[in-house]
Structure 1
Amino acid sequence: MRVDVTWATAWVRGSARTVFEHRVAHIALDRQIGDGDHGENLARGFTAVLARLDALETAPGDIGEVLRLVATTLMSTVGGAAGPLYGTAYLRAAKVTGFPELDSAGVVAMLEAGLEGIVVRGKASPGEKTMVDAWTPAVAAAVAAAAAGAEPDGVLAAAAQAAEAGAVATIPLLATKGRASYLGERSIGHQDPGATSSALILHEAAVAAAGRAG
């Protein structure tokens, strides 16, 4: 079993749906430790992504083409930190997914590239209460699942589960990066919005893959 362009498109549409559904929740999380714009920014970005996807005259030829569309759209339409960070993640992932299909190793490479993009752009490390705290365990879980012989849907499921746990694990952390770091110890006790949206988006990748496997 491999994931393909249809999967990538379904992932994007699922990501847009979950971003819209959790817009208010993301706003609330970001108001606690940020400037409150995370939910609105992501919703605006994925609205533009869907518009561009629907406007395509021909279907994308490979997965990287789909991810590149997401990257360039988010970079041009999303303000704050989310646009550059997510945009870079998708752009780096696009560079290693220029194929019609991906096997488990290809999925791992995609996730690793996405994490690398976030780390380079945000200059963040695990434990600093950022989206890196969701992506890092997701990549580790994906690597372990692929090494154990999991198919792409299993690799993505493992990544999604680990990302969700990583997002929850940001609650007791002291923010030392980004706007939340200005709050000092007051940032403790709140879940990071970027890690939360990352976990939801990675969950949609797993949902789309499960649909293809089914």
Structure 2
Amino acid sequence: MLDAAFFVRWMTAAAAVIDREADRLTELDSPIGDADHGKNMQRGFTAVVKTLTAEPPATPGAVLTTAGRQLISSVGGASGPLYGTLLRRAGKVLGEADRVSAEELRSGLAAGVDAVGQLGGSAPGDKTMLDALVPGVTALSASFDAAAEAAGQGALATVPMQARKGRASYLGERSIGHQDPGAASSALLFAALAEVAK
């Protein structure tokens, strides 16, 4: 069973990996976006860790809703609302329980992913963060490692796609050949989760 401390460690590990990969995320964002995804995510997750460290929430659900709220208020562009919605909805589904199972976490994240799809009006195959989130959440029923692997593969699979949503969609065919930065950062969330689960 996973307690609040596990979720704080997950968000902290996510902040660390995003910090390490920030330049790469911004590089991915340069040809098809605003060239600020890495910086934005870095700023958001730094704020998340600061908030969670100052006043650690008592439940897994509260950790995720707090993190989501913080991302919405501190990340620019579309990423803040999308990531914030993912975590807040997941936290809401987890409710007030002191501990949750991996399967409950999967259900919470699945609800979060649905909410992201509704907010962005997107679906898998549109070359967005959903292309990493959906396979990641699906594979969570097998293991944390399987989820990280599936999300990573999902992010790579966006390279040959033509973007149908978001800023990259304005480029039409020129979006082909570039990895979606949101899918790349989503895969990092699952990598951090697998790392903490070890």
TM range (shorter): over 0.9
Where does residue 106 of structure 1 map in the other structure? Answer: 104
| Structure 2 residue matching 1:64: 3-state secondary structure | helix
Q: Match for 2:194 among 185, 206, 212?
A: 206
Where does residue 64 of structure 2 map in the other structure? Answer: 67
Runs of 4+ in 1 over 2 A off after TM superposition: none
Within the alignment, does 1:83 sit opposite 2:86 as a pair? Answer: no
CA distance in 2, matches of 1:43, 1:176: 26
Within the alignment, does 1:93 sit opposite 2:93 as a pair? Answer: no
Unaligned 5+ runs, structure 2: none
Where does residue 194 of structure 1 map in the other structure? Answer: 182
Where does residue 39 of structure 2 map in the other structure? Answer: 40
Map residues 7-156 of structure 1 onto 2, 5 A cutoff: 7-56=6-55, 59-98=56-95, 99-143=97-141, 145=142, 154=143, 156=144
CA distance in 2, matches of 1:53, 1:30: 28
CA distance in 2, matches of 1:170, 1:105: 27
| Structure 2 residue matching 1:171: 3-state secondary structure | coil
Q: CA deviation at 1:105?
A: 2.1
Larger Rg: 1
* C-alpha contact 1:23 1:43 (8 A) present in aligned 2: yes
**In angstroms, what is the RMSD of aligned CA positions?**
1.1
Where does residue 165 of structure 2 map in the other structure? Answer: 177
* C-alpha contact 1:4 1:100 (8 A) present in aligned 2: yes
Letter in structure 1 aligned against 2:4: V
Where does residue 150 of structure 1 map in the other structure? Answer: none
Q: CA deviation at 1:140?
A: 2.0
Where does residue 151 of structure 1 map in the other structure? Answer: none
* C-alpha contact 2:87 2:109 (8 A) present in aligned 1: no
Letter in structure 2 aligned against 1:22: E
| Structure 1 residue matching 2:89: 3-state secondary structure | helix
User: Structure 1, residues 60-88: CA drift from partner, whole Å, max 9, x if none?
Assistant: 22101101111110101111010000000
Give aligned-pair identity as a percent.
47
Relative to the length of structure 1, the TM-score reads 0.89
CA distance in 2, matches of 1:69, 1:141: 25
CA distance in 1, matches of 2:165, 2:138: 22
CA distance in 2, matches of 1:190, 1:119: 21
Q: CA deviation at 1:54?
A: 2.0
Q: CA deviation at 1:33?
A: 0.8
* C-alpha contact 1:3 1:209 (8 A) present in aligned 2: no
CA distance in 2, matches of 1:140, 1:167: 14
